């Protein structure tokens, strides 16, 4: 029978794969063949649907029923009940915070309905390994329009008019970059896609590459036509094996269909794309270091200018855009710059994809119009705090960004207003924190990352960040002084002004922004030797509440360093000289008798 009665879209994004998508899919296939439904049910593995905290997940069409937190057993039940008998299996539906089953149709869940999806328009909906599904969603029509109806100048004009800004973080106007590269004087030119996504917690580029690789290819071909290049490179990190695999599939399909290669779509224009795999150095996301790495050299930045638009890959004019930036191009060409400008704010049109992480209910990927307030993003789409304690701050922009405290949550999210707060848009990572997070500890975490990732070429970044980290370590171990805070500020400002590349210039941001908004917390660490969030190990102690302790000895037995003593049925005592603050005793105590305190 030539009929597909049900289509199952199962999310095969990285998070769902890690939580067991493969075994759920196998169970589905096994059950489907057991009941001989192969001809009636089609399973499609899509890219990341964004609701990572609910994975593994799938949507069954035509009803659009959204099933979450699946197991092989759940797959069996769903095949037997839903596919065979047409009954929705309620226990695997999404449930609201109070346990009520809310709309079963995926599009109606608040997590999805508040989003505006341009960049991720196909992610989670089409089969990324099938070029025809991309074409069915108007894929490669923007390329056809450009090649048939527009001159390169007109393409650049349209992108300029749209006001699109680089989604890699800095927000440079994309159209202007294209124009500068077109004006470059070298004979050969290159288009490079920066897919070296490295911020801890940000994974929107990976999601697009895995879920809709053709949109990136189409945009790169359009860019090649606009700036006069015949060769493109996608620089993607080796830690993204699935993205690389799907890109390779997409590239060979695009060649087969004649979208890549010579005489594209019967015109004079020729363009091809190669993948360059990076080894995962954070600094290679910086464009000059990325160029060096493509050329096979050590990935280190150089002084700008000259910018890549003049001297890029092999000293030729090179256009470098980020994955998310490219994914905006086909819709802009098809629907026009005016449509794009109608979304978002005046100076930051369009949408931005954010990766929500930390203490928030709906962790995952969301795409929202620019100008949405942090409050809407965190509470209405993100579902608010996951711990029951109020959200204290949100960290945006990863190791280059800063912390925004709760009193600024009415701020609209766009490039300029985040910058004013001392944070940056960055690639779009958002880490949500509550009162159990110590801001000094957070700053230290990000600085450890940049110290590790500093390439070592310039002194301010190589030595400066290391010194800042040493001061932070001093503060968190209870040996900090008030002068250290001034020292941190002075060092931070100096590094910002003198480092060679973006990595160093932004590395002090997490420290400087927390120093500005949470100076009181720093002061408690240095003056009172106290960590109010009870995070810094050297500033906390574990004590047993004698009135609650029944002397069950569970804590003494679990303690790895034998720091707990006491007789059976009598209150125990913790020797804080020996204690390593591992927290095991708190976990095993059934009487809530052990407390963490900071003096």
Partner 1 sequence: MLNVSKIKSLEDLMKIKEKAVKDLQLRDTNTRGKITVAMGTCGIAAGAKDTLKAIVDALNDLNITDISVVQSGCMGLCEVEPTVEVRLLDREPIVYGHVTPENARRIVKLHIVENQIVSDLLVRKGEI
**According to the binding rule CB under 8 A, does residue 40 interact with partner 1?**
yes
| DSSP sequence for 267-323 | SS--BEEEEEEE---GGGGSHHHHHHHHTTS------SSSPTTTS-GGGSEEEEEEH
Angle (deg, nearest 10), helices 439-453 and 465-476 = 150
Query: Which parts of 290-309 interact with partner 1 (CB under 8 A)?
Result: none
**By CB under 8 A, is residue 6 in contact with partner 1?**
yes
Contact between 195 and 323 under an 8 Å Cβ cutoff? The reply is: yes
* Number of residues this chain uses to bind partner 1 (CB under 8 A): 41
Judged by CB under 8 A, which of 101, 105, 279, 490 binds partner 1? 105
Count other C-beta atoms under 10 Å from residue 522's C-beta.
Answer: 22
Instruction: Using CB under 8 A, pick the residue from 144, 242, 554, 588 that binds partner 1.
Output: 144
Tokens of 210: 């895995």
Best CA proximity match to 314, nearest among 276, 282, 283: 276
Name the nearest CA neighbour of 330 among 193, 180, 214, 229: 214
Using the rule CB under 8 A, is 93 a contact of partner 1?
no
Single residue of 96, 241, 258, 280 touching partner 1 by CB under 8 A: 258
Q: What are the respective helix, strand and coil percentages of the chain, to the nearest 5?
A: 45, 15, 40
**Contact call for residue 590 and partner 1 (CB under 8 A):** no
Rank residues 85 and 590 by Cβ distance to partner 1 and give the closer one. 85
- The answer to whether 146 and 222 are in contact (CB under 8 A) is yes
Q: Phi and psi at residue 304, in whole multiples of 5°? A: -115, 145
Segment holding 50, helix H or strand E = none
Cβ neighbourhood burial of 93 (10 Å; 0-12, 13-18, 19+)? middle
Query: Which part of the chain contacts partner 1 (CB under 8 A), choosing from 85-93, 201-209, 300-308, 321-329?
Result: 85-93
**Which residue stretch of 68-76, 137-145, 155-163, 385-393 sits at the interface with partner 1 (rule: CB under 8 A)?**
137-145
Rounded to whole angstroms, how far apart are CA atoms 418 and 429? 13
Neighbours of 526 (CB within 10 A): 19
Report the largest interatomic distance among the alpha carbons of the chain, rounded to a whole angstrom. 88
Cβ of residue 106: shortest distance to partner 1, in angstroms? 8
What minimum distance in Å lies between the beta carbon of 273 and partner 1? 16
Asked whether 543 and 549 are in contact (CB, 8 A), the reply is no
- Output the smallest distance, CB 1 to partner 1, in A: 6
Q: Is 396 helix (H, G, I), strand (E, B) or coil?
A: strand
Query: Which among 26-34, 60-68, 414-422, 458-466 is the span making contact with partner 1, rule CB under 8 A?
Result: 60-68
The pattern of x and - marking residues 117 through 136 that bind partner 1 according to CB under 8 A reads --------xx---xxxx-xx
Residue 445 touches partner 1, criterion: CB under 8 A? no
In angstroms, give the least distance from the CB of 55 to partner 1: 19
Any contact of residue 89 with partner 1 (CB under 8 A)? no
Q: Which stretch binds partner 1 (CB under 8 A): 3-11, 19-27, 411-419, 476-484?
A: 3-11
Q: Which is nearer to partner 1, 35 or 314 (CB)?
A: 35
Q: Which of 69, 137, 160, 457 binds partner 1 (CB under 8 A)?
A: 137
Among 57-65, 435-443, 511-519, 541-549, which window interacts with partner 1 (CB under 8 A)? 57-65
Phi-psi region of 86 (alpha: psi -120 to 50; beta: other; left: phi over 0): left
Nearer CB in complex with partner 1: 22/138: 138
Using CA atoms, how far apart are residues 443 and 436, in angstroms rounded to an integer?
Answer: 14
Residue 267 vs 576, nearer CB to partner 1 = 267
Cα–Cα dist 213/242, whole Å: 11
Minimal distance, residue 111 CB to partner 1, in Å: 16
Our CB check for partner 1 shows the closer of 126 and 431 to be 126
Is 61 a binding residue for partner 1 by CB under 8 A? The answer is yes
Q: Rule CB under 8 A: choose which of 86, 390, 583, 599 binds partner 1.
A: 86
- If you compute the radius of gyration of the chain from its CA atoms, what whole number of angstroms results? 27
User: Where does this chain bind partner 1 (CB under 8 A)?
Assistant: 1-7, 9, 40, 42, 61-64, 84-87, 105, 107, 125-126, 130-133, 135-138, 140-141, 144, 148, 253, 256-259, 265-266
């Amino acid at each position: 029978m030539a009929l597909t009665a049900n289509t199952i879209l199962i999310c095969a994004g990285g998070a769902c794969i890690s939580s067991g998508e493969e075994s759920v899919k196998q169970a589905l296939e096994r059950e489907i063949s057991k009941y001989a439904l192969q001809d009636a049910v089609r399973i499609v593995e899509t890219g990341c649907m964004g609701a990572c905290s609910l994975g593994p997940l799938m949507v069954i069409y035509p009803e659009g029923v959204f099933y979450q937190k699946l197991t092989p057993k759940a797959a069996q039940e769903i095949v037997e009940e839903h596919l065979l008998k047409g009954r929705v299996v309620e226990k695997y539906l999404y449930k609201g915070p109070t346990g009520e089953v809310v709309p079963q149709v995926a599009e109606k869940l608040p997590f999805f309905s508040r989003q505006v999806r341009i960049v991720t328009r196909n992610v989670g909906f089409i089969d990324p390994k099938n070029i025809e599904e991309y074409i069915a969603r108007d894929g490669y029509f923007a390329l056809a329009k450009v090649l048939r109806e527009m001159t390169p100048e007109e393409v650049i004009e349209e992108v300029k008019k749209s006001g699109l800004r680089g989604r890699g973080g800095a927000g440079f106007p994309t159209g202007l970059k294209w124009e500068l590269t077109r004006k470059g004087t070298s004979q050969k030119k290159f288009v490079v896609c920066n897919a070296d996504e490295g911020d801890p917690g940000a994974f929107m580029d990976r999601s697009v590459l895995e879920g809709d690789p053709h949109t990136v290819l189409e945009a790169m071909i359009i860019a090649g036509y606009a700036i006069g290049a015949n060769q493109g490179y996608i620089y993607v990190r080796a830690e993204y094996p699935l993205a690389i695999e799907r890109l390779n599939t997409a590239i060979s399909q695009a060649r087969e269909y004649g979208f890549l290669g010579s005489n594209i779509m019967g015109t004079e224009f020729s363009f091809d794309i190669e993948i360059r795999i990076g080894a995962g150095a954070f600094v290679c996301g910086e464009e000059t270091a990325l160029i060096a790495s493509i050329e096979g050299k050590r990935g280190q930045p150089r002084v700008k200018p000259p910018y890549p638009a003049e001297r890029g890959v092999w000293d030729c004019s090179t256009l470098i855009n980020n994955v998310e930036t490219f994914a905006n191009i086909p819709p802009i060409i098809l629907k026009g710059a005016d449509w794009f400008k109608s979304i978002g704010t005046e100076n930051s049109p369009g949408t931005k994809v954010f990766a929500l992480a930390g203490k928030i209910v709906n962790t995952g990927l969301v795409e929202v119009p620019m100008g949405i307030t942090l409050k809407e993003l965190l509470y209405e789409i993100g579902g608010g705090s996951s711990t029951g304690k109020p959200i204290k701050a949100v960290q945006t922009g990863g190791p280059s960004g800063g912390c925004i405290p709760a009193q600024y949550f009415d701020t609209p999210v766009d490039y300029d207003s985040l910058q004013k707060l001392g944070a940056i848009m960055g690639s779009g990572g958002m880490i949500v924190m509550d009162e159990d997070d110590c801001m000094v500890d957070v700053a230290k975490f990000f600085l450890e990352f940049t110290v590790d990732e500093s390439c070592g070429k310039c002194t301010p970044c190589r030595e400066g960040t290391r010194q800042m980290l040493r001061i932070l370590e001093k503060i968190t171990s209870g040996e900090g002084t008030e002068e250290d805070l001034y020292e941190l500020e002075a060092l931070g400002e100096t590094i910002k002004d003198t480092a060679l590349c973006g990595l160093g210039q932004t590395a002090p941001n997490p420290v400087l922004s927390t120093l500005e908004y949470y100076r009181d917390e720093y002061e408690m660490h240095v003056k009172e030797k106290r960590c109010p969030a009870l995070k810094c190990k050297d500033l906390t102690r574990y004590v047993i509440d004698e009135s609650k302790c029944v002397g069950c000895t569970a804590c003494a037995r679990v303690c790895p360093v034998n720091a707990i003593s006491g007789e059976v049925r009598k209150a125990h005592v913790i020797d804080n000289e020996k204690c390593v603050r591992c927290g095991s005793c708190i976990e095993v105590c059934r009487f809530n008798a052990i407390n963490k305190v900071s003096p």
